[in-house]
Amino acid sequence: MLDSVLDAVMRAPSGPERQPYSIERWWLKALIMGVALALGIGFSGGSIAIYHHMHGLGLSQSWLLGLLQGLPLVVAPLMPLAAWRVMVTGLLLADLTAGRGEFMPWPVTSLLGMLVVLALVAAVSSRPVSQGVSIMMIAVLAILPVMFNGLEQWFGLILIALALLAVVFGDAVGGRRWAEISLAEQAELRRQDLARQAVLEERSRIARELHDVVAHHMSVIALQAEAAPYKIPELPEAARTTFVLLRDEARAALTETRRVVGLLRADDETAERVPQPGMERLPELVASHDGLRVSLAVVGTARALPEGLDLSAYRIVQEALSNASRYAPGAAVAVEVRYDADMLRLSVVDDGARGEPDTSNGGHGLVGMRERVTMLGGTLFAGGRNDGWAVIAELPYDDGHDPRGDR
């Protein structure tokens, strides 16, 4: 209890210990400070007048007590605990200097200002500080006036109840807002964790899918290196040794690749036994989306694509159509594949939902598309266009891009 009082009186910081509100608009901040300024000046003037004309105090003493008990309201929104400390000092001085026989030793304007500050203090301070403030108010508003100024006990209890009510109200408002802020922060941290997890899962999926492509090339290297001595009987011994070394290294690389992909695979996930799809299967993909009106246009002369690009381009279109089925059911979707001179350009554009979108289970399709485009050194646009949504990917055929070089 003593520690709480000491925290309230001198040890706790004057500024907010917790932030129950966040005001971004400048005009709202100016309005709050303007109201605080008006209350501070108005309550100070009212307290000075009451002390001088009704309590019969001298003008200098009335000014001192009035300013101490009212003017701190001006800075109360910024430093509520500092304002309370000054105001409670003014109330304490009134307790010590007022004579007996007064119904209460302070003007009603001072009490109203104190109630406002008490609510602000409880809203932005920790519970121990609020407890210390409450104990001090019990002493200043009831115990001392009853002992030295002849304040009626029943009225002292009313003042205590009003002060505690202001503290409880401020603590409830500040505590609720603080809980909301904490929950929002936790939700944001969880969203970031889920986003990172989605990126890792998509990268693992891409690695597993590209395993077949890499394994095929490594197998071809190993087979060709092993067959070379039989195709060329007069091959020098040094060349034979080189081919044997090349075969062994290719097999070792293939084994390590399979081991790493095995670690990336989930416990309940088995290795795929079917070839990875490519752009040649795009018409089948377009025809499989019954809930959409999909049109496919191929611009330019189709060309053989590197296997990694071929697979990634198919997956990008597949994911874009899946998103359109989920978020824009019944829409007309235009799929365009453009074979330019130096890059493959994919465009999937819908004209907006005709039915109720399915938002119950949002996936991470855009994450996967971005990872694939980044891996290939291309660019991706995904966003609203007219009344619908557009996904546009530009994938260079081969630019030697290494994503690790950007890190």
Residue 320 parent element (H or E): helix 307-327
Look over the chain and give the mean of its residue pLDDT values, rounded to a whole number.
83
Q: Using the 8-state DSSP alphabet, how is residue 403 labeled? A: G
Per-residue pLDDT at 360? 59
Per-residue pLDDT at 266? 55
Residue labelled with tokens 């003493």: 61
Structural contact between residues 73 and 118, judged by C-beta atoms closer than 8 angstroms: no
CATH number of the 279-406 domain: 3.30.565.10
pLDDT over 70, % of the chain: 89
pLDDT tens by residue, 288-321 = 877 788 999 999 888 888 888 888 899 899 989 9
Nearest to 163 by CA among 96, 110, 125, 90: 110
Q: Residues 133-146: what's their mean pLDDT?
A: 90
pLDDT tens by residue, 102-124 = 678 889 999 999 999 999 999 98
Give CA 25 to chain center in angstroms: 20
To the question of pTM greater than 0.75 for the whole model, the response is no
The model's confidence at residue 405, banded by pLDDT at 50, 70 and 90, is very low
* DSSP secondary structure letters along 244-287: HHHHHHHHHHHHHHHHHHHHHS-TT-PPP-SPPP-GGGHHHHHH
* DSSP secondary structure letters along 347-372: EEEE---SS----SS---HHHHHHHH
pLDDT tens by residue, 148-193 = 777 888 988 999 999 999 999 999 988 888 888 888 888 888 888 8
Categorise residue 358: left if φ over 0, alpha if ψ from -120 to 50, beta otherwise.
beta
Give Cβ neighbours of residue 143 (< 8 Å, ≥ 6 apart): 156
pLDDT tens by residue, 51-75 = 888 888 889 999 999 999 999 999 9
pLDDT at 401 over 50: no
